[in-house]
């Protein structure tokens, strides 16, 4: 087998591994986006418009906020500012992931991966032991993006046919999927496990404390991400391995 053939075979294996790991994410997105699609249908979006909105903005909180503003007939500026705040945490995630690329990774790979950084994809990427492999993440994207986009379109088409309790039950899938991502690294590293528990407790506290409960979910997440990650980085710095970025 020639070197070129070996390279292609290796890329195919890495892509399929990403497909395998991204399949649960895609299925979870399909279920959660279904209820998002019902919301989109209620504000007058067609199935194609909902599909396009989810394809270009793969973020549940941002889309929910956007659809709510459409219903309120908000201006484009108000919508842009709200979605910017709601999705601000992805700026931090992208910054963190940029440090995990091999230095010779081309810009277009960084750009394409940055387009689809979500909470679950971030967890999948950051859990990899070595430098981020774009081909692996493209395999995961091939499951997550269609799942989110199609789920929204299907939800719009279904409308109010399904009972409300069934739609609510489908939304639970996203939490199980996220737990499947964070539990393995938490079991391997006690510090990570402790930080996960602290994050859960802090998130609950921020949702009920008077001074911060009134902030949007995206803003609270941004504050917690900055503070907890900064404290963790200061107290438990990760030693760089020789030959890795």
Measured in whole angstroms, how far is the alpha carbon of residue 141 from the centre of its chain?
11
A 10 A CB-CB count for 25 gives 26
pLDDT tens for residues 195-225?
A: 889 988 998 998 898 888 887 666 777 688 7
Q: Is residue 213 a contact partner of residue 206, using CB atoms and an 8 Å limit?
A: yes
Are the CB atoms for 90 and 59 separated by under 8 Å? yes
Q: Of the ranges 65-69, 112-116, 190-194, 217-221, which one carries the lowest mean pLDDT score?
A: 217-221
pLDDT at 54 over 50: yes
pLDDT of residue 100: 84
Mean pLDDT of 122-142: 87
Distance CA 71, CA 69 (A): 5
The Cα–Cα gap between 112 and 110 comes to 6
More confident residue, 166 or 18: 18
Nearby residues of 47 by Cβ (< 8 Å), 6 or more positions away: 37, 153, 154, 156, 157
Model pLDDT, residue 239: 65
Q: Mean pLDDT lowest for which of 14-18, 98-102, 143-147? A: 98-102
Residue 143 pLDDT > 90, yes or no? yes
- CA–CA distance, 177 with 189 (Å, rounded to integer): 20
- Distance, CA of 203 to CA of 215 (rounded, Å): 12
- Mean pLDDT lowest for which of 27-36, 37-46, 76-85? 76-85
d(CA 196, CA 183) in angstroms, rounded, equals 9
Distance CA 84, CA 211 (A): 22
Span 149-206, pLDDT tens digits: 999 999 888 876 777 676 666 656 556 656 766 787 788 888 888 888 998 899 899 8
Residue 106 has pLDDT above 70, yes or no: yes
Asked if 189 and 218 touch (Cβ cutoff 8 Å), the reply is: no
**Above 50 in pLDDT, residue 132?**
yes
Distances, alpha carbon 132 to alpha carbons 33, 111, 230, in Å:
27, 13, 22
Residue 243 has pLDDT above 60, yes or no: no
In terms of DSSP H, where are the helices of the chain?
3-42, 47-56, 60-71, 76-86, 89-98, 107-115, 119-126, 134-158, 164-170, 173-188, 190-208, 210-213, 217-235
Which of the four pLDDT bands, split at 50, 70 and 90, describes residue 72? Answer: confident
pTM: 0.68
* Ranges 41-45, 137-141, 161-165: which has the least confidence: 161-165
pLDDT value at position 174? 56
Contact 225, 91 (CB under 8 A): no
pLDDT beyond 50 at 119: yes
Averaged pLDDT score across all residues of the chain: 81
Q: Which residues contact 80 (CB under 8 A, 6 or more apart)?
A: none
**Nearest 5 degrees, angle CA 120-CA 184-CA 140?**
35
């Amino acid at each position: 087998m020639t070197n070129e053939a070996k390279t292609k075979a290796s890329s195919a294996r890495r892509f399929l591994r990403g497909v395998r790991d991204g399949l649960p994410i895609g299925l979870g997105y399909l279920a959660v986006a279904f209820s998002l699609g019902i919301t989109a249908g209620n504000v007058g979006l067609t199935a194609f418009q909902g599909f396009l909105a989810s394809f270009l903005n793969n973020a549940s909180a941002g889309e929910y906020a956007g659809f709510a503003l459409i219903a309120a007939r908000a201006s484009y500026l108000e919508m842009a500012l709200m979605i910017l705040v709601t999705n601000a945490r992805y700026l931090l995630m992208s910054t963190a992931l940029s440090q995990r690329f091999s230095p010779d990774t081309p810009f277009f790979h960084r750009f394409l991966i940055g387009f689809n950084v979500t909470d679950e994809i971030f967890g999948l990427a950051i859990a990899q032991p070595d430098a981020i492999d774009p081909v692996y993440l493209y395999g995961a994207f091939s499951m997550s993006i269609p799942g989110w986009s199609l789920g929204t379109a299907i939800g719009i088409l279904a409308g109010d046919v399904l009972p409300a309790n069934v739609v609510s039950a489908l939304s639970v899938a996203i939490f199980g999927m996220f737990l499947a991502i964070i539990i393995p690294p938490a079991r391997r590293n006690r510090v990570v496990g402790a930080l996960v528990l602290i994050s859960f407790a802090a998130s609950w506290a921020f949702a009920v404390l008077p001074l911060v409960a009134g902030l949007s979910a995206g803003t609270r997440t941004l504050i917690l991400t900055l503070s907890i990650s900064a404290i963790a980085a200061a107290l438990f710095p990760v030693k760089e391995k020789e030959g890795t970025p």
